[in-house]
Structure 1
Amino acid sequence: MNRSRIAPVVWLVGPSVLFMALLFGWPLIVGIGTAFTGDGLGRMVADPYFWPAVRNTLLLIVVLIPLQFALAVGMALLLRANPRFGGLYFYVWAIPLAVSDLAAGLVWLAVLTDRGYLNSVLAGLGLSPVPWLAFDNPVSLFVAVLVAELWRATALVLVIVVAGLQGIPKDYEEAAAVFGASPWQRLRHVVLPLLRPSLQVALILRTILAFQTFAVAQALTGQNFPLLVGETYRWYTVLQNPNVAAALAVVVLLVSMLTSVVYLRTLRAQS
């Protein structure tokens, strides 16, 4: 390429590349350097909360992501059928998008606490209250965080799926129906393959955000249900150890990047 053509490209793209390198590259280098100094990795692995946090984070993602996508796709298909008051349904389902993580956690804390709304309903029915957030019941703690995250974050997937469905002409489904395809066959062989780019974006985005789940679990369970990002916060603010906090952040970064690469390669291979 002629130098006279390269120069304008450099002047146009160069400042953006430099800005992105300073904004993301330099903090990344500093964070990785901090993680490998002061025995941050060793203290992270030796921390009794580290492996439970890894287990809880992965378990939450494995259970949460499929449920969110099943609900989001189901709600989006219902809206695609143009039911009565469909617009109202969409706005109601999208309300959690306007609720912050901490606010969502506090809302569900008011529902699930010992004297919360749910136990008040049970008492009104003559039933004994249930300690939903008891520290010695990890199953109920997990279910509480799962339900709160499911309520809070499914709307994000729904918006992406609805946008993807709007780009799929209904002519394809009608043609498949003419040839005798059942509703399930039309969904599996027509709608979902055409929806794959939107599902791929939603899957990567939602998984990365799920790794960052913190405020909801913190509001509901405190330290009783540790998660990786919550441990990062604890080491940095409470224990005042940026080396271990940086090591935990690097773990979250690496796992998120690895998951994104697996998603991209798997979905590309299926396309």
Structure 2
Amino acid sequence: MKTARRPLLLIAPSLVFLTALFAWPLIFGIGQAFTGTGGPTAAHFQRMLDDPYFWPAARNTALLIVVLIPLQFAFALTMALLLRERPRFSGFYFYLWVVPLAISDLAAGLVWLAVFTDRGYLNSVLSSLGFDGYSFLSHENPASMFIAVVIAELWRATSLVLVIIVAGLQGIPKDYDEAAEVFGASYWQRLRHVILPQLRPSLQVALILRTILALETFAVAQALTGRNMPLLVGETYQWYDFLQNPSVAAAIALMILTVSLLAAAGYLRLMRDQTGSPR
């Protein structure tokens, strides 16, 4: 009996920690979202849907994911494959590329604010070349605002995908790649049929993490655009801090959590191997 209880005693601190850090706030947030002064209600979700900023925020968040994720994976995979060839100073390139990983979201937003603001570095360069300045972050130019946020997020968060893919490539024996090359397979054939299938678990983890984190994009967009380009997490902050309505904020947060779980489940199902079990 004592032997059977020993594993429970060993994991008890972790269970207490996870309960305090995740389970209780989740239960409390669900209660806030579905409870009003008169008892259970869906009024907070209705107020969320009626908010004029909600649908633009949902559209911007979805568009950011659709544009940002493929770009990040394309850049990260290209950089990881270049590092795999062990070029000269490859270690230096790796550390240079992962520097943004050590920078906070808000700091990254402020860095790119100095680039894109009306009197920033980009307009200074344009002026020196004889071009008129451009208000990249003006509410009158939503396309340039969106591009600025994409560039800032691309610079800040691609390093996370790069680290995961590089770690995955470390576990792939080069023997398979060399054997395929001996049998006449081109580089693109080896990439498609040898490297990427073995890299699937790492790509799966990176895809889930980046989608969840893209859903939570806030500080970079807040620093660059304020509320001119609303995002879902930004609306959660607005309802909680400025509008003093934690119940609607909890409703938005619960919706983000639901989308995150559905996205993770979809990726796990989509990226199964031919035997039907996740790799």
TM-score bracket for this pair, using the shorter chain length: over 0.9
Q: Which residue of 2 aligns with 1:206?
A: 210
Q: Extract structure 1 runs of 4+ deviating beyond 4 A.
A: none
Q: How many aligned residue pairs are there?
A: 269
Shift of 1:6: 3.0
Instruction: Please state whether the residue corresponding to 1:181 is helix, strand or coil.
Output: coil
Counterparts of 1:12 and 1:83, CA distance in 2 = 46
- Give, in whole Å, the separation in 1 of the partners of 2:163 and 2:13: 33
Per the alignment, residue 48 of structure 1 pairs with 52
Q: Provide the secondary structure at the position in 1 that maps to 2:272.
A: helix
Taking the aligned partners of 1:249 and 1:205, their CA distance within structure 2 comes to 17
Give the aligned CA root-mean-square deviation in angstroms. 1.3
1:77 aligns to 2:81 (yes or no): yes
Pick one of 31, 34, 39 that aligns with 2:32: 34
Distance of 2:110 and 2:15 partners within structure 1: 41
Aligned to 2:106: 102
Return 5+ residue gaps in structure 2 as ranges: 37-42
1:260 aligns with 2:258: no
In 2, distance between residues paired with 1:58 and 1:36? 25
- Equivalences for 1:163-174 in 2 at 5 Å? 163-174=167-178
Alignment partner of 1:181 is 2:185:
yes
The percent of aligned pairs where both chains have the same amino acid is: 69
Determine the structure 1 residue equivalent to 2:132.
128
Counterparts of 1:13 and 1:88, CA distance in 2: 40
Residue 24 of structure 2 aligns to which amino acid in structure 1? W
* d(CA) in 2 for partners of 1:153, 1:136: 27
Question: Residue 16 of structure 1 aligns with which residue?
Answer: 14
Per the TM alignment, residue 242 of structure 1 is displaced from its structure 2 partner at its CA by 0.4
Structure 1: which 5+ residue stretches go unaligned? none
Q: Take 2:89 and 2:9, find their aligned partners in 1: how far apart are those partners?
A: 52
**1:15 Cα deviation after fit:** 4.5
Report the Cα distance in structure 1 between the residues aligned to 2:78 and 2:96, rounded to whole angstroms: 15
2:142 to 111, 114, 138: 138
